[in-house]
Amino acid sequence: MKSGISRRAERVALHGTRSGRRARAVGAAVGALAVATVGFAPSAVADDVQSKQWYLGPMQAEQMWKVSTGKGVKVAVIDSGVNANTSSLKGQVLTDEVPKSVAYRATDDYGGHGTTMAELIAGTGAGGGLKGLAPGAKIVPYRVKFENLKGGADELNKTPEPAEAIRAAADTDAKIINMSFGAVGPSSKEEEAVEYAASKGKLLIAAVGNDGRKAGDTIGYPAAYSYVIGVASVDKSLTVSKFSSSGNYVDLSAPGQGFPGWCDTNFRSYCDNVNGTSSAAAIASGAAALIWSAHPDWTVNQVTRALIDTAGRTWAKNNPSKYGGYGLIRPRLVLAKQNYDAGPANVDPLRAENGGDLLAKSAASSTSSSSSSSPSAPSSSASTPSQAPEKGSTGGTSAAGSSTESSKDDNTLWVVLGAVAAVVVVGGGGVAVARARRAR
């Protein structure tokens, strides 16, 4: 267990340390601090919405896009569905690549949550819409069951469970699986699906939850599963959001508060301050897409290690914060160095916390099976996931208990579809954690 450092003591800068010192740029393309001057055309949909995406300037998005836009990377968005017809998502959503088994109404989004996540990841910003951190990436939409789903029993029966969508996404060429949803307890089917996807080399990113203000605050699932990067939220002052859940499952933090998102079911206008760890997870997925696009030969281990090693933090790397994890994402530090060394491809940087290196186990199993295969003893598939150490279960199911509140600091579909995560400062003391994934 980590020491109970308060959130207020864990302030981090997007471009430096607590004192605000900027890290020296390594490459000319990502060198200078960019001002928030992202161009857009006013429209009836949104007025000046991109200027409200305060993080694009400090993260030097315009400079990063000179190196990478996320082109060539597909991100599976498992959520409330993705409206492919918003001005910012036209041409960005690969509806034909959703596996038929989980394709039911994948582009119908009744609340705007999944569409917001998709735009934060890969929106082009056309028509004055949200600009994604990786506007060159593509979105593969998955609509899953959640409480209060419209359409009644028939609709529920036809809509896939999150576990089904995770498995289906694992069998595609999507590199990243964004899961801005959660539940208070684990599901054995969902955990097995997560391990399966991890064994396939997918980067799984999830929102940690919006229960930071509640007594007994705990991280939600799937963020709390091994092999999932749990993302917390930070506000404009680079302080961990007060609503962001905390605990030993928080791995990274990203902007998740103080910018617009969809809240109109007719997609006529954005709402300001649609806050939650859901958005933070989406922005982290966008950051990963930028890195993977610039280094297409890297493995999930190398992308994860690059995100961790370059994260902004004021605490020791070997003592991650239960509020901000290993720190605030800073993909520009990876993109600024053309020959960035991301370490060994086959070593999971979080193997100690995850209970082992799943990719290495799968590779070893595949090699062993291939060498010993014979007509009487068929080899097992390399896609069969290695089993992680057994974890306790509280009997909870993943897509149940969706919040229907429209709180200013609660993305409305957290317990099913996530809430925006906050990053590194929030006044407050220690918070109870259900169980520790990390040994320390």
Residues 336-351: b if buried by 16+ CB within 10 A, e if exposed: beeebebeeeeebbbb
Q: What pLDDT shows up at residue 43? A: 32
% residues pLDDT > 90 (the chain) = 62
- In this prediction, residue 156 carries a pLDDT of 84
Distance CA 344, CA 363 (A): 15
Question: Which of these, 67, 57, 413, lies nearest to 238 by C-alpha position?
Answer: 57
- Give the amino acid at 344: P
Q: Which residue from 79, 182, 158 is spatially nearest to 121, judged by alpha carbons?
A: 79
pLDDT tens-digit readout, 144-176: 997 667 777 888 889 999 999 999 999 999 999
**Active site amino acids:** 79, 113, 278
278 burial level (CB within 10 Å; 0-12, 13-18, 19+): buried
- Position 362 scores a pLDDT of 63
Q: What is the pTM of this model?
A: 0.78
The pLDDT tens digits of the residues spanning 292-339 come to 999 999 999 999 999 999 999 999 999 999 999 999 999 999 999 999
7-340 is a CATH 3.40.50.620 domain: no
* Domain spans, the chain: 7-340
* Residue ranges in the chain modelled with pLDDT below 50: 1-46, 369-436, 438-440
Sign of CA dihedral 266, 272, 278, 279: positive
Report pLDDT for 58. Answer: 96
